[in-house]
Amino acid sequence: MPYREKAVEKLYYSIGEVAEMLNVPVSTVRFWENEFDILKPMKNKKGNRMFTPSDIKNLKIIHHLLREEGMTLSGVKRKLSGKWEEADYKYEINESLKKIRSLLLEIRDSI
């Protein structure tokens, strides 16, 4: 198998970088920040939002439920009220399965 370098993880990401990761407009990230109490990005002296990797993980969970599962905003709020650990666990399983699938497809294609 070819050598792969681990992706460099930053401590803070700008709102533009987060929006690009999720493939949504910046305004959508701002809207989700206002709608969900768990999203509290830091702000620098200029007032720019600085998202930590845990903020990004929470945003990915919200994005998954809204866009991939097709839930409504109120449905996501109801589902996640007090159950962030469960949602986080299910999200981690889903991401692991996606990585395994891509690895298996890569192996299949190299044969």
Average pLDDT, the chain: 86
* pLDDT 10s digits, 5-26: 666 678 889 999 999 999 999 9
Q: Domain locations in the chain?
A: 13-110
Model pLDDT, residue 2: 63
Element (H, E) at 14: strand 13-14
Check pLDDT > 80 for residue 76.
yes
Please give the CATH architecture assigned to the domain spanning 13-110. Orthogonal Bundle (1.10)
Distance separating alpha carbons of residues 23 and 59, to the nearest angstrom: 12
Model pLDDT, residue 3: 65
Compute the average pLDDT of residues 56-63: 90
**Confidence bin at 89 (pLDDT 50/70/90):** confident
Element (H, E) at 110: helix 84-110
Check pLDDT > 70 for residue 1.
no
Distance separating alpha carbons of residues 111 and 108, to the nearest angstrom: 5
Q: Counting every residue, how long is the chain?
A: 111
